[in-house]
Amino acid sequence: MPAIVVVGTQWGDEGKGKIVDFLTAKAHFVVRFQGGNNAGHTLVINQKKYILHLIPSGIFHPQTVCVIGNGVVVDPAVLISEIENLKNAGVEITPKKLKISERAHAIMPYHKALDLAREAKAKKNKIGTTGRGIGPCYEDKVARRGFRLIDLTRPKYFKERLKTILEEKNFFLQYLSAEPLDYKEICEKYLEFGKYLKPYLTDVSSLLWEGFKKNKNILFEGAQGTYLDIDYGTYPYVTSSNTLAGNACCGSGLGPTFIKEVIGIVKAYTTRVGEGPFPTELKDEIGEYLREKGGEYGSTTGRPRRCGWLDLVMVKFAIKLNGITSLALTKLDVLSGLSKIKLCVVYRIGKKILETFPTTLEDFSKIEPVYEEFPGWEENLEGIEDLNKLPKEAKEYIKTIESYLGVPISIISTGPGRENCLILRDNFFH
Ligand code: GDP
Ligand code: IMO
Ligand code: MG
């Protein structure tokens, strides 16, 4: 049985949650492997909207086990309230249904405080983080001074270690003009979190390995997107984890030979939240149109998303970086009503044509996108379930994307609802 990875090919918010929910119909496990509650994945089921930050987007399928892998950074308070809110909404969440890696690192109150204080101090040089403590938590993981979720269930170890760690954190917080944090308060809170989460904690690697041996279908749910990747994104305007498909293995403990397919999610235009380069950004009424029609406001922070034309140079590089085997094109319906639609096919620096994605901010400041222009269409696409019923201009747009990228489009999404999907291939799990 194949394991499939779903990743975003742009700067996040491509519609990963919706597509993962769709693919979960045939999955036994849905696994988050990186990021934390900086993610906001939206599902619309029977006209009801749910936004998930930490719990995998497979949670609404009763037969599926949802897994939070070791590569995720978990804010226990956020996770617990997400569990409780879903339970209150009638979703069954038990330790059988939700499994969390005991090795996943915990976001501590000082991580959040440091994230916010650093951004405030950086002023106009800020990254525009979600302020959820993601970066500082990954820093501590790599610096070998983090707390793993299992550590919240070991009071003696936790209390001793927190003492020295908090001393240093409070020193930094004060340097950044932020309030120091109280040791006793953190101890009490986090040991309570440990008690709550204990029944859900497990060795995720063994769980997935056992599943694999029993021919179970495993679906990995990427968070963020290719260009927020710590190595290949628009550094330093990135998140602090590897968002690429390759990290599904390290972030879950399942080896690379099990992955048979990588599905790249491509929004029919481009968006970005926070600071950083964005070659095809539209700071005009078309950008505004996309934002309002597409509801482009952050699912996590509510910030307006920057909007622009689809950039095929980015997506083409994302295909290589992730080993993408097929694409899901989302939000095609949002383009209805535009008289002209543009696609960026290469970049230009002066007279030089550039077909690759730049590495430095300096190069980003010099490039100009080169566009191909297409006629738009007026028809509303919501509810169309047959490719042939799409307006001919939309078909032309899709055909151009596919032939430029050289990878087939397997799903076209034409609305936020679970049912708004055109399925061009349905044998993802054979
Ligand atoms: P994710 O982070 O990649 O899961 O994406 P988000 O949930 O942050 O943002 C995608 C937004 O677009 C959400 O509000 C979805 O409900 C919505 N959405 C997803 N697919 C479509 C689509 O095909 N058409 C429209 N109009 N909205 C969509
Ligand atoms: P999903 O999974 C869009 C962005 C932030 C900021 C940068 C660093 O919903 O697609 P961080 O808090 O991670 O240190 O912020 O990354 N960012 C996202 N943008 N979608 C996301 O997740 C994001 N997660 C982080 O806006 O620019
Ligand atoms: Mg999102």
* Cβ of residue 413 lying under 6 Å from some atom of ligand 1: yes
Atom of ligand 2 at shortest range from CA of 274: 27
| Single-letter code of the amino acid located at 27 | A
Domains of the chain (ranges; CATH) run 3-102+200-263 (3.40.440.10), 105-197 (1.10.300.10), 266-423 (3.90.170.10)
- Give CA–CA dist 200/95, Å, rounded: 5
Give 373-400 pLDDT, tens digit per residue.
Answer: 999 999 999 888 889 999 999 999 999 9
**pTM higher than 0.85, yes or no?**
yes
Task: Please enumerate, as own/partner, the contacts of 235-240 that have beta carbons within 8 Å and a separation of 24 or more.
Answer: 236/127, 237/127, 237/128, 237/274, 237/275, 237/276, 237/277, 238/276, 239/35, 239/38, 239/129, 239/134, 239/135, 240/134, 240/135, 240/137, 240/138, 240/139
d(CA 91, CA 82) in angstroms, rounded, equals 11
Report the percentage of the chain scoring pLDDT > 70: 100
Burial call 116-127: b when 16+ CB within 10 Å, e when fewer: bbbbeeeeeeeb
Taking 90 as the threshold, does the pLDDT of residue 358 lie above it? yes
Give CA angle at 10 (327, 318), nearest 5°. Answer: 60
Please report the pLDDT score of residue 1 as a whole number: 66
CA proximity to 28, closest of 57, 72, 66: 66
* Residues tagged active-site: 13, 41
pLDDT in tens, 30-50: 999 999 999 999 999 999 999
Question: What angle is formed at CA 76 by the lines to CA 72 and CA 81, rounded to 5 degrees?
Answer: 115
The residues facing 348 across adjacent strands are 353, 368
Would you state the structure tokens that stand for residue 68, as one six-digit string?
């939070």
CB of 49 closer than 8 Å to CB of 57: no
* Number of CB atoms found within 10 A of residue 404's CB: 15
Answer yes or no: is the C-beta of 222 below 6 A from any ligand 1 atom: no
pLDDT tens readout for residues 259-269? 999 999 999 99
**Ligand 2, residues 273, 296, 299, 305: which to mutate, most atoms within 8 A of Cβ?**
273
15 lines ligand 2 (CB under 6 A): no
Query: Rounded to whole angstroms, what are the CA distances from 159 to 74, 167, 219, 400?
Result: 19, 13, 37, 59
Average confidence score pLDDT of the chain: 97
Residue 169 Cβ contacting ligand 2 at under 6 Å:
no
In DSSP notation, 353-410 reads: EE-S--SSHHHHHH-EEEEEEEE---S--TT---GGGS-HHHHHHHHHHHHHHTS-EE
